[in-house]
């Protein structure tokens, strides 16, 4: 199947179809020792494709450590392929909720996320997926991704009042992130691994 044929086929699938296919593959390969190797190889192929063809990279979910490691690999692969300039934009999509109290932020974000995605999700997943808390807590979590090389954090407010959340983030979180980001170039240029980013 050519890439163009694959794109046409994927566009014709509905989200339910993709979910059913993924569940089928998960159950078919559950416990398969080779499965971890397959996932690793698929990720590597995707990162190499970004390095060879992309101007940037966006990921939906990650940890700062995983994000930084993969972004460094993309840039190293691009460098090895002779790309100049290297891909320069790295993005991650966050669901954010900022409140005075951490439990209130998590609760509202959970309700919003589960209503939007029509399902319920385990706490462990949601605490990984959602960026919630006080302005300081949200800033600290997002700053970890800036430290890992994220150049364009994409914030979506997991709230029934997204404009209020945006105003609050603009007044509290974004100035702190801007200050944090302003300190990064000096820290990166003095770091021995700065060239690998």
CATH number, domain with residue 79: 3.20.20.30
Residue 142, domain member (yes or no): yes
Residue 26, domain member (yes or no): no
Summarize pLDDT for 102-126 with one digit per residue, the tens: 999 999 999 999 999 998 999 999 9
Return the H-helix or E-strand segment holding 191: none
Residue 49, domain member (yes or no): yes
Structural domain span for residue 166: 39-196
Asked if residues 79 and 110 have their Cβ atoms less than 8 Å apart, the reply is no
Mean pLDDT of the chain: 84
pTM across the whole model: 0.76
Indicate if the alpha-carbon torsion angle 25, 26, 32, 34 is positive or negative.
Answer: positive
Residue 8, domain member (yes or no): no
Residue 155, domain member (yes or no): yes
Summarize pLDDT for 45-56 with one digit per residue, the tens: 999 999 999 999
The number of distinct structural domains making up the chain is: 1
Mean pLDDT of all residues in 36-41: 80
Q: What is the dihedral of CA 171, 177, 182, 183, to 10 degrees?
A: 130
């Amino acid at each position: 199947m050519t890439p163009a044929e694959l794109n046409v086929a994927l566009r014709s699938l509905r989200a339910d179809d993709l979910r059913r296919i993924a569940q089928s593959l998960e159950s078919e390969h559950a416990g398969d020792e080779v499965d971890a190797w397959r996932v690793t190889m698929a990720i590597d192929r995707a990162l190499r494709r970004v390095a060879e063809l992309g101007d940037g990279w966006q990921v939906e979910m990650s940890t700062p450590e995983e994000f930084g490691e993969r972004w460094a690999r993309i840039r190293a692969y691009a460098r090895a392929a002779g790309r100049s300039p290297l891909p320069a934009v790295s993005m991650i999509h966050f669901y954010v909720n900022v409140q005075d109290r951490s439990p209130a932020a998590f609760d509202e974000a959970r309700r919003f996320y589960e209503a939007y995605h029509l399902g319920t999700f385990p706490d462990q997943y949601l605490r990984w997926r959602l960026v919630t808390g006080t302005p300081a807590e949200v800033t600290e979590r997002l700053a970890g991704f800036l430290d890992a090389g994220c150049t364009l954090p994409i914030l979506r407010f997991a709230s029934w009042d997204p404009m209020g959340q945006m105003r609050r983030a603009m007044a509290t979180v974004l100035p702190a992130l801007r200050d944090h980001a302003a300190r990064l170039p000096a820290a990166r240029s003095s770091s021995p691994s700065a060239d690998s980013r």
